[in-house]
Structure 1
C-alpha cells in the first residue's frame, strides 16, 4: 500500500508519519512518498530525513522517499493526502495584514483572507486531481488543505476525480474538550455535528446513549473551558447566547457572532505583535531547527503550538477506516446526499458519516435547526460563489464573493480590499491574470 503526501515538506508531516506508524498493525503501509515543489526542497529534505529516522526507530519495513516529481510520485498510489499552502506563510501574512489594515477581519480561512486562500488553492488542487485521475484513478484524495470544505466541494464539482474527502481538526478538538468537561473517555463521546467546515455546530452530545448537551453548555457558562485550537484566542460565550442557541459553537464562530470584539482583539494583536502568520513563521523556524537535529526520531512537542495540530491524526484515522471498511463514524467534509434537507445534494457539508471502503455515508440530520438555518444557507451560497470565482477568474465573481461574505458586507470597502489582494497575490492567481478592476465613476 502506497501513500503520497503532497506538501511533504510541511511541518505537519511528522505528525502524519507518527499516525501511520501507530496504525501500522491495522493499516500496513509499505511505501510513503513525500512530494513538494522546488521552493520547498530544503524543507522537504529536512522533513524526509526526520521521517526516515522515525520509521527506523519504529523498526518497520516502510519504504520512504521524497521527490519534486509529482507525476512520478503518484504512480501506484492508494491514498494521496494534500497539505499545501500556495504562496507559503508570506501569502498568509498578506491575507491577514491587508484586511486588518482596513479595519476588517484578517484570517487565513475566513473573510477576505480565506477567500483568497481558496482563489490560490483551488486551481492548484484541480490540477493535482487531474493527475491523480490519470495516474492512480483508484486512489482516495484526503484533503486537509484549507479552506477544507470549499476546496473539497470545488474538487468534487469541477475535478475529474470523485474519490475526495475533506478533513478538519475542529470536530476532533471539540470532542476531546467535551470529553474533558464531562470527565469521560473521548471514545465514549459522540457529538452530532451540523453545518459546514469552520461553521459547524454541535447539536447533541451522546455519552452511553444519553444526551449531555445541557451539561456541556452549563460547563461553558460556568467554567473557564473552551474548544479553541492554538491559533484562536477564545473570548468565551455569554450565557444568553449559549442558552438561546442550544448548540455548541466552534471556535471560528467568534468571527461571526462576536465580530466587533474579535476584530478589536485582532487589530490590537496586529498592531502590537504583528499578524498570526508572522508568529507562525517564528514557530516554523524553531520547528525546523528542531527537525534538523540528527538525534531527533519522534514528533516534537513543539508541533502542538501550530493551530492545525491533529489534522494529520484525523487523516490517518480516515485512511485506515477506508482501507479496513471499518464503518467507523467520523466527522468529514463530504457530499450532502440528502443528509441536510435544506441544502443541495451536491453541497459539501461537515457531517458525521459511516466510513466504508466505498467512501463516507453521511448520517441523516433532517432539517436545519431554525436558529442557524439562515446563516448556514447564506454561508453555503457564499462558498459556492467563491468556487465559481476561483474557476472563472472573473472580477465580478470575485467581487460578489466578497460582498456575500458576512465578515465584509461593505460594497466600497470590499472593492478596495479585493483590488489590493489581487495585486498582492497576482503571482499565484493565474486565472485572474487578465482581470482589470472596474473603476468607479
Structure 2
C-alpha cells in the first residue's frame, strides 16, 4: 500500500509516522512518500520519520520529494496537510483582524477566510493531479479550514473526506474520565468543522462501532458534566454553568463565538498563537536534525493535532478496506456531504458528524433533530462557508466582502469593508486575481 502526504515537511508528520508504526496491522503501509516544496524541511522530517519507523520495526520505504506527480502516482490515498504561506501568513491572519475588534484566528472570521482564499485553489490543483495519476485514490483533507476545503473537493467531484482531531480528542478525554477503552466511547457529535457540540456520550459493548455515533446504553454526559464540568469548562475557556445548563460540551472553537469580545482582548494582550507555534516548530526542527532522535518528541504535543495519527489511520484503513477493518465499514466522525442529514442545510453543505466509512466512502448517520440554539449558528456559518468558497473559486472584492458580511463574527458593513481591503492587501501575493 502506498500513501502520500502532501505537506510532508510539516512538523506534524512525525506524529503520523508514530501512528503508522504503532497501528501497522490496521494500515499496512509499504511505501510512504512525503511531498513538500521546502527541501530542507522535508529532508529533516523525512529523516526522523525513517528513524521512528525503523525503531519500531516498520518495513515501509520512506521517500521525500518536491515532485507531486511522481509522489501521487500509484498512491492508494493522499493526505493533505498544507499551510499556504506558512506560519508567517498565519501570524498575519491572527493579528490584523484584531485592529478592528474582530477575532484573529486561522480557521474562522476574517483570518479563516484569508486562509481559505489562499488554500482552496492550491488544493483543487493538487486534487486534479491526484485524479489524473490515480482516479481511485482517496484524498483525506486535514488542511484548514477543513469544512470549506472539503466542500471544494466534493463539489469538484473528488473522492475526498475531511478529517479533524476535535472528536477523537473528546473521545479520548471522556474515555479517560470513564476509565474505559476509547473505542467504546460513542459520541453524539454534531455541527460543522470547528463548530460542534457533544450532545451525548454512550458506551458500546464489546465489539462496538469504532468510537463514534450509534446509541448503546444510557447517556453518560449528564454525569460527566456533574462530576467533571469544572475541568472541562476550564479547558474550553467557557463558564461551567453554561455547559451544565445546556447539557452539552462545545468544541473549543465555540469560545470565539460565545465569548468573542473577551477573546479579542485576550489576543491583543497575549499575542498570536502563530508566534508560539513558530517557536515550537523551530525547536522541533532542531530536534529532528539530531540523528539520535528516533521517537516522537514530547514537545510535539504542544504543536497541536493530538491523536491526529490515530484518526488518520482509522479513516484511511476504512476507506481502503485494510487491516482489521477490512470486512465491514466502521463509524467515525468526519467531514462529509450533508445530503438530508440536517434538513435545514443545503444538501451540498459539508457537516461534521458520525459517518459510516468504508471503501465506498463516508455516509453520514442520522442525527437527532438539532436544537434551534445550535441549528441557527450552524445555518448562519454554512451560508458564510458557501460565500467563502465562491470567493475562493471566482475571486473579486465583492465576493470577499459578501462572505465577511455574512460571517457571524463580522456582520457589520464598516467592519466587513475594512477587513476586505486589509485581507486583500495582506494576501495579494497569494491571490492571482487580487
Q: Same fold (TM over 0.5)?
A: yes
**Helix, strand or coil at the partner of 1:202:** strand
Aligned-pair Cα RMSD in Å: 1.6
Match of 1:333 among 318, 327, 335: 335
Match of 1:301 among 294, 298, 303: 298
Conserved in 1, the CA contact under 8 Å of 2:319 and 2:359? yes
> How far did residue 136 of structure 1 move?
1.1
Q: Distance in 1 between matches of 2:27 and 2:308?
A: 18
Residues 196-242 of structure 1, C-alpha deviation per residue, up to 9 Å, x if partnerless? Answer: 00001112111251111211222354x323485xxxxx423241x22
Quote the residue 1:418 is aligned against: 420
Quote the residue 1:199 is aligned against: 195
Quote the residue 1:41 is aligned against: 39
Conserved in 1, the CA contact under 8 Å of 2:26 and 2:314? no
Residues 89-140 of structure 1, C-alpha deviation per residue, up to 9 Å, x if partnerless? Answer: 0000100110112221001111110111111000000001110111111100
Conserved in 1, the CA contact under 8 Å of 2:169 and 2:306? no
Residues 28-75 of structure 1, C-alpha deviation per residue, up to 9 Å, x if partnerless? Answer: 1111111111xx111001001111112222223211111111011111
Conserved in 1, the CA contact under 8 Å of 2:341 and 2:366? yes
Match of 1:317 among 309, 314, 317: 314
**Helix, strand or coil at the partner of 1:427:** coil
Match of 1:347 among 346, 349, 354: 349
Quote the residue 2:287 is aligned against: 290
- Give the direction of change, closer, same or farther, for the CA distance of 1:329–1:302 in structure 2 (3 Å limit): same
- Give the direction of change, closer, same or farther, for the CA distance of 1:81–1:314 in structure 2 (3 Å limit): same
Unaligned runs of 5+ in 1: 229-233, 434-441
Q: Distance in 1 between matches of 2:349 and 2:372?
A: 19
**Helix, strand or coil at the partner of 2:101:** coil
Quote the residue 1:370 is aligned against: 372
Conserved in 1, the CA contact under 8 Å of 2:319 and 2:358? yes
The range that moved more, 206-215 or 130-139, is: 206-215
> How far did residue 411 of structure 1 move?
1.1
- Within 5 Å, give how 1:11-50 maps onto structure 2: 11-37=11-37, 40-50=38-48
Quote the residue 2:255 is aligned against: 254
Match of 1:215 among 223, 235, 252: 223
Structure 1 segments of 4+ aligned residues over 6 angstroms from their partners: none
> How far did residue 160 of structure 1 move?
4.1
**Helix, strand or coil at the partner of 1:319:** helix
> How far did residue 181 of structure 1 move?
3.0
Q: How many residues are matched?
A: 417
Normalised by the length of structure 2, the TM-score is 0.93
Q: Distance in 2 between matches of 1:428 and 1:283?
A: 25
Q: Distance in 2 between matches of 1:416 and 1:345?
A: 33
Conserved in 2, the CA contact under 8 Å of 1:340 and 1:366? no
Residues 377-416 of structure 1, C-alpha deviation per residue, up to 9 Å, x if partnerless? Answer: 1111111111011001021111011111111122112211
Q: Distance in 2 between matches of 1:81 and 1:227?
A: 33
Unaligned runs of 5+ in 2: 205-216
Q: Distance in 2 between matches of 1:207 and 1:383?
A: 34
Residues 290-318 of structure 1, C-alpha deviation per residue, up to 9 Å, x if partnerless? Answer: 11110111211111101223223311221
Q: Distance in 1 between matches of 2:316 and 2:426?
A: 37
Q: Distance in 2 between matches of 1:227 and 1:317?
A: 30
- Give the direction of change, closer, same or farther, for the CA distance of 1:315–1:220 in structure 2 (3 Å limit): same
- Within 5 Å, give how 1:23-422 maps onto structure 2: 23-37=23-37, 40-157=38-155, 159-161=156-158, 163-208=159-204, 209-221=217-229, 223-226=230-233, 228=235, 234-239=236-241, 241-270=242-271, 275-324=272-321, 325=326, 326-422=328-424
The range that moved more, 183-192 or 109-118, is: 183-192
> How far did residue 366 of structure 1 move?
4.6
